[in-house]
Amino acid sequence: MAVKSAKLYRMVMPQHICPFGLKSWDLLRRKGYAVEDHPLRTSQEVDEIKQLLDVETTPQTIIDGERIGGYDGVRRFFGLEPADAAGSAYTPVVAIFLTSLLMAAAITLRYEGTLVSLPLLMNFIAVTMCVLAIQKLRDLTAFTNQFIGYDLLSMRVVRYAYVYPFAEAYAGIAMLAGVSAWLVAPVALFIGSVGAVSVAKAVYIDKRELKCACVGGNGEVPLGAVSLTENLFMILGAVLMWMQ
């Protein structure tokens, strides 16, 4: 049986190795192709290949004499979606909530010896708040730019948008540390209540189509259920702390 082969021209410079070239090489090999790899190690070599193939970018893959294109072209050749369509706007949210749940389960199992429902729920809420706060604090300016577009308090007191992620982180960390409910629950209850009312008004009353700042600024998650869940989590956490 003849071995399937492909030629790959990709940038491999001392200061930069093209990630899409590596991904093309990996995908071709996983699909059973023998890859005739042509690393381009200088700018001159890159320019020469662009001119030879009449293209503007590298990497470039050629199979059976036909130019397939870059990494997305290779994916299409094998019937796969383009790389930027492989996920969805909700992928970061799913990753955060699932990882937070597993972390909460690990903490609960470590200190309770069993996955007791109430401690597990409390730890899940606390860890989720911490992780979401980190997402916001990664780019505080981008977060505030998006947040003040729908948060009712931030519209009146812009500085509150800058305080919010720190308050969320404080509440989550303090819950994990077992700090007195009277020092933590009011903060979680306040920011959760204001957030829930703001989201409900913007989405369900005003019918505005906005992006959620819950996973940080410049996110693509639509404002709605995810942000509302985040805020309801805070309210629930505050109530449970007072009940303990």
Residue with tokens 């942000």: 227
Q: What is the pLDDT along the chain (244 residues), one digit of tens a residue?
A: 567 999 999 999 988 999 999 999 999 999 999 999 999 999 999 999 999 999 999 999 999 999 999 999 999 999 998 776 555 667 888 899 999 999 999 999 998 888 888 999 999 999 999 999 999 999 999 999 999 999 999 999 999 999 999 999 999 999 999 999 999 999 999 999 999 999 999 999 998 888 888 888 777 777 878 888 889 999 999 999 988 7
| Distance from the Cα of residue 115 to its chain's centroid | 27
Structure tokens at 149: 């577009």
For residue 102, the enclosing domain spans 91-243
Number of domains in the chain: 2
**Of 55, 85, 115, which residue is a domain's last?**
85
Residues 154 and 118 in one domain: yes
Bridging pattern class, strands 66-69 and 16-17: unpaired
Q: What is the pTM of this model?
A: 0.80
Residues 129 and 194 in one domain: yes
Secondary structure in 3-state letters for 34-54: EEEEEEECCHHHHHHHHHHHC
Residues 110 and 68 in one domain: no
Residues 58 and 110 in one domain: no
Tell me what pLDDT residue 221 has.
Answer: 79
Tell me what pLDDT residue 85 has.
Answer: 59
φ, ψ at 12 (rounded to 5°): -135, 85
Residues 69 and 95 in one domain: no
**Of 69, 85, 101, which residue is a domain's last?**
85
